Structure 1
Amino acid sequence: MSSENRDDIVNDQEDLNTETSNQETEVSENELTVEDQVLNLQAELDKEKDKFLRLFAEFENYKRRTGKERVEMFKTAGQEVMQSMLPVLDDFDRALIEIQKAKDKNLQKGVELISNKLRETLKSKGLKEMEVSAGDVFDADIHEAITQIPAPKDSLKGKIVDVIEKGYELGEKIIRFPKVVTGK
């Protein structure tokens, strides 16, 4: 073998080693790039999952809130109508008291039937009379004090002496507070 051939073989061998080394480097770079791509895609997927979960939670909260609002609206939908009917109930109470004084049994029976029918109809729609009587403890959250008078008995101090106007609830909401006189 001549020296030129030997040099050619050595050069070819070096070229082959360099080429192999370059290919290994390219493969390593490609692997890193693929790994980076996988990590990037995983990060994007996690971001989209988080976005989806937040949106889903917001929607569930919206459904729950609107559901509660709708139920509340149905409970109090007729509040204005009910409030306008309360003076009619008061008038029936006053009429019954006056008819009892007149001692006309037929008239009293007829007015009681109409009064009871109206009360039952309103009760079926959610109207409920608040139970308040003389001697009950006064509570500013559920009673409206019109005036204070000297208590006829010591046991009535700070308590309800008289109920001037009945109170009513529609569902769980007070639509008219009972008007009372308290003892001092």
Structure 2
Amino acid sequence: MSKKNKAKDIKEEQANGLKDEAVAVEEQQDQDVSEELSAEDKLKEELQSEKDKFLRLFAEFENYKKRTSRERIELFKTAGKEIMLELLPVLDDFERALLHIEEDKEAEELRKGVLLIYQKLLSTLEKKGLSVCEVSQGDTFDAEVHTAITQIPAPSDDLKGKIIDVVEKGYKLGDTIIRFPKVVVGQ
């Protein structure tokens, strides 16, 4: 081989080497661009993931606030439940005393005094949310609202399954029944 051919071969090899390097550089640049895009995509995915987490956490917090607010309101409504339950027998005793004093005509002044104290206690409790469960003779018995103490044969057919007598009044505190009315039901 002549020197010319050798030089030509060397130049061709160098040209091919440069072409290969250029192709390699281009491929590297393409790969870098695709890595940059994939890094950008990764960042977008991470951002979306964090947004989802934030929204879920925010929604949980809002639900927590609403739930605790409802619980607090309910607690305030029924905060006096225990004291009310303790005072209900006192109301019953006043009612029984008034029934017995009505029979005694000589104790009119005593009856007026007891009635005044009873009404004052009842109005104070009503201001705090206590109310009487209205039940009367002839109402339909409802196990959700009434407590049946006993069943007796109904005096007439139209009183079957209905309330014959109210033995003890029921009371509500707000919308919650704290003592169910005790009734006698006709069968």
TM-score, reference length from structure 2? 0.89
Q: Give CA-to-partner distance per residue, 1:147-174, whole Å, 9 cap, x none.
A: 1112222221211111000000111111
Residue in 1 that maps onto 2:16: 14
SS at match of 2:59: helix
**Paired residue type of 1:79:** K
Aligned to 2:165: 162
1:16, CA displacement in angstroms? 3.5
User: Is 2:168 aligned against 1:182?
Assistant: no
Secondary structure at 1:181 match in 2: strand
Q: CA deviation at 1:5?
A: 6.1
Which amino acid letter does the alignment assign opposite residue 129 of structure 1? V
Q: 1:11 and 1:158 mapped to 2: Cα distance? A: 111
Tell me the distance in 1 between the aligned counterparts of 2:108 and 2:23. 118
Establish whether residue 131 from structure 1 lines up as the match of residue 134 from structure 2: yes
The counterpart of 1:83, out of the listed 82, 85, 90, is 85
134-143 or 151-160: bigger deviation: 151-160
Which residue does 2:110 correspond to in 1?
107
Secondary structure of 2:21's partner? helix
Q: Report the counterpart of residue 28 of structure 1 in structure 2.
A: 30
Aligned to 1:71: 73
Displacement after TM superposition at 1:62 (Å): 1.7
Partner deviation per Cα, 1:80-99 (whole Å, 9 max, x = no partner):
11001000000111111122
Q: 2:145 is matched with which residue: 142, 145, 151?
A: 142
1:12-59 superposed Cα distances (whole Å, 9 cap, x missing partner): 543433332222111101101101111111121122122222222222
What is the number of equivalent residue pairs in this alignment? Answer: 183
When structure 1 is superposed on structure 2, of 123-132 and 39-48 the one drifting more is: 39-48
Q: Shift in Å at residue 11 of structure 1? A: 4.7
Report the CA distance between 1:145 and its aligned residue: 0.8
Counterpart CA distance in 2 for 1:35 and 1:153 is 89
Shifted more, 13-22 versus 156-165: the winner is 13-22
Query: Using the alignment, how far apart are the partners of 1:142 and 1:46 within structure 2?
Result: 53
Whole-Å Cα distance in 2 between the matches of residues 78 and 54 of structure 1? Answer: 37
After TM superposition, the score normalised by the length of structure 1 is 0.90
2:53 maps to which of 37, 51, 54: 51
Q: Distance in 1 between matches of 2:9 and 2:180?
A: 113
> CA-atom RMSD, angstroms?
1.8
Identity of aligned residues (%): 55
